[in-house]
Structure 1
Amino acid sequence: MTDYSEPTVALASGPQMPLLGFGTWQIPDSEATAATIAALEAGYRHIDTATGYQNEAGIGKALASAGLPRELVFVTTKMPPDNVGRERQTLEESLTKLGLDHVDLWLVHWPPNKQATPQAWEQFIAAQQEGLATSIGVSNYSLDQIDELITATGVAPAVNQIRWSPAIYDATIDSGLAERKVVLEGYSPFRASNLEDPTLVSIAEAHGVNTAQVIVGWHIKHQYVVIPKSTNPERIVSNAAGALVDLTEDEVTAIDGLGQA
């Protein structure tokens, strides 16, 4: 069986994060167990959820039934922006539902009130120091907001999870995060793309794959974390296989160009 625990990217806090993850946004709790089991059986070793998705309990059941050693599965969850002031309680509730004693990555899901909110970030740092979250990060933050957290606390987010795809590729964001040693994690890779784009189609044909797999391969080649989502077992397997698509530098450059189109 294929094991997608690699390739990985090193987080600033030390751990290795698998570049391929399984996204669970909009998967109801009643379907989350079966979908997550299918992903684990397909070789995914990184599961992404959030308090706001209301499916952590279903995912917890999948993790328990899979019986994989804890250290082999990288688990991310996120705190809703409205939960500022209840950070520790939120994380403890997530851990209970997931059946875990720590998550590998805990994110602030959106900037609370569209503000960086360093006081919440201080609580994330405290949770990391207690071992409840191995790494901490943010989602949907701007570079300026990340700088505000760094200035206030001296601690940079390990990850910024943002909407990302070839069609919205932005070299300024890419380089800005890299300069700050913040890993770029992309969500909605297909939703934010035109899967019938001629450039993607021609590259897919050259590799004997589909365009969704090309998009996953593009993320991997750039060392972006990518979390495709599906509840269809065949598509779950197919999406993962995109991590094995070895794009050439010229192909990556051509795909990057879709963002400037």
Structure 2
Amino acid sequence: MSQVPQLTLNNGITLPQLGFGVFQVPPEDTQRIVEEALEAGYRHIDTAAAYRNEAGVGAAIAASGLPREDLFITTKLRNGEQGNAPEAFQSSRKALGLDYVDLYLIHWPVPSQGLYTDAWKALEKVYGSNEVRAIGVSNFLEDHLDVLLAGAGVVPAVNQIELHPTFQQAGVAEKCRSLGIAVEAYSPLGQGADLNAGAVTALARERDATPAQIILAWHLAAGTIVIPKSSSPARMRENLAAASISLGAADVQSIDALESGNRVGGDPATAEHSQL
């Protein structure tokens, strides 16, 4: 098993920098797939209320027999529940079957609702309990962070954003890091679109690695938390092995140069879906 690096958040807690995401994993398959991920060696699992598979994640954790303190579990607040975040958090915690959640995120800002600052204040109160170890945001752009921080008592520990070689969101990532907010990448492979980039395939041949391993190693080299997903146990293990690949400065720069503004997900400036 590759040794996954640990990253320390701004409140002092640590998490495995390479985790496992369950976005679009069907609820009926989630327990099996997460059990396989845990067996492969993942100890950081990322889910969300909107994925409707929290219960499957919880069942896999219970079935694994792993000590709770060895696991790092993230879930997220649905957009349509920003007005009742404490209740939504409790629903997620109970669906997971956990006494506490390691990280709870506001899933999207949905600026048209005008509720994300109120939701953050509610999360701060939840953070004051012993039921969540860290709170953060997802899909927050620079202006959303400015508005949030203007009235915040707690700086988010994490901002989970779409980030991959052809869509790096350098401005958002730089702002987060300057504020002590860890950057977490979802769609880290560009939903597969970045795997055939010349710089990636060249490094994969040179390192006798898969293109996915090269991209994940690039994320790790930048200090980014990364949560690839796969339904294949073999691919799960391959992705986890990216932790053993070390890229040099020139290698990193060759992948940095792939930036092309290729967003594959929604735009946080305008996204309005309720997720209910």
Identify the structure with bigger relative contact order (alpha carbons < 8 Å, sequence gap 6+): 2
Task: For 1:153-192, list aligned pairs within 5 A.
Answer: 153-190=152-189, 191=191
Q: Which residue is equivalent to 2:222?
A: 222
Output the CA distance in 2 between the equivalents of 1:112 and 1:215.
Answer: 30
CA contact (8 A) 2:2 2:243 kept: no
Shift of the alpha carbon at 1:170?
Answer: 3.5
**CA pair 60-158 structure 1, distance change in 2 beyond 3 A:** same
Output the CA distance in 2 between the equivalents of 1:147 and 1:156.
Answer: 11
Q: Give the secondary structure class of the aligned counterpart of 2:219.
A: helix
Aligned residue pairs total 259
Q: Which residue is equivalent to 2:40?
A: 42
Stretches of structure 1 lacking an aligned partner (at least 5 in a row): none
Runs of 4+ in structure 1 displaced over 6 angstroms?
Answer: none
Q: Deviations over 1:156-215 (max 9, x none)?
A: 111000011011123322221111111100001121642111110111111100101101
CA contact (8 A) 1:213 1:242 kept: yes
Q: Which residue is equivalent to 1:150?
A: 149
CA contact (8 A) 2:212 2:239 kept: yes
Q: Give the secondary structure class of the aligned counterpart of 1:62.
A: helix
Stretches of structure 2 lacking an aligned partner (at least 5 in a row): 262-276
Query: Normalization by structure 2: what TM-score?
Result: 0.90
Output the CA distance in 1 between the equivalents of 2:60 and 2:186.
Answer: 22
Cα RMSD, aligned residues only = 1.5
Letter in 2 for 1:236: M
CA contact (8 A) 2:102 2:132 kept: yes
CA contact (8 A) 2:105 2:135 kept: yes
Letter in 2 for 1:224: T
CA contact (8 A) 1:24 1:48 kept: yes
Output the CA distance in 2 between the equivalents of 1:171 and 1:84.
Answer: 28
Shift of the alpha carbon at 1:247?
Answer: 0.8
Q: Which residue is equivalent to 2:66?
A: 68
Q: Which residue is equivalent to 1:103?
A: 101
Query: Percentage identity across aligned positions?
Result: 38
Letter in 2 for 1:55: N
Letter in 2 for 1:62: A
Shift of the alpha carbon at 1:116?
Answer: 6.5
Q: Give the secondary structure class of the aligned counterpart of 1:231.
A: coil
Q: Which residue is equivalent to 1:120?
A: 119
Letter in 1 for 2:122: Q
CA contact (8 A) 1:82 1:112 kept: no
Structure with a larger share of its residues in helix: 1
CA contact (8 A) 2:2 2:244 kept: no
Query: Normalization by structure 1: what TM-score?
Result: 0.95
Q: Give the secondary structure class of the aligned counterpart of 2:200.
A: helix
Q: Deviations over 1:56-88 (max 9, x none)?
A: 111111000111111110000000111022211
Q: Which residue is equivalent to 1:248?
A: 248
Letter in 2 for 1:21: G
Output the CA distance in 2 between the equivalents of 1:256 and 1:185.
Answer: 17
CA contact (8 A) 1:146 1:156 kept: no
Q: Give the secondary structure class of the aligned counterpart of 1:258.
A: coil
Shift of the alpha carbon at 1:252?
Answer: 0.6
